[in-house]
Structure 1
């Protein structure tokens, strides 16, 4: 099932994922700064952490959107009940 345009048009989930990934990459970069590696190594590991978190969370958000999308679901008749009637 593909994402419908209504679910995919909201930028907020993707902005939140990017903000979380930026914070994670920045904290990784700061933590490596305490151990005094070369600046290129520090930047590379921070960038790898950002990319890994971003990719993982984007995958999670898209799979949740696919699973919970109800825009094309059939309408349920509110008059029907689970019981067969007594």
Structure 2
């Protein structure tokens, strides 16, 4: 599993990892439209601040679609950062 999902009331969070980075994603169902926007944050270590990853604004039909897209965006961002620093 790429990430683990937790419920915090109406908000859902997913936490995963890639290449030593922690990935945190969050979404809330827009009940009137039944869509799921996603926000993505990455942290290199616990002593660093989270960085918000720019994610194209899309609304997904399910939380799984939202989290899968967010995870893909985060891994692409992390790989680009690692490549830039090498």
In terms of fraction of residues, the more helix-rich structure is 1
Q: Which has the higher contact order (CA 8 A, sep 6+)?
A: 1
Specify if TM > 0.5: no
Question: What TM-score comes out, normalization by structure 1 length?
Answer: 0.40
In terms of fraction of residues, the more strand-rich structure is 2
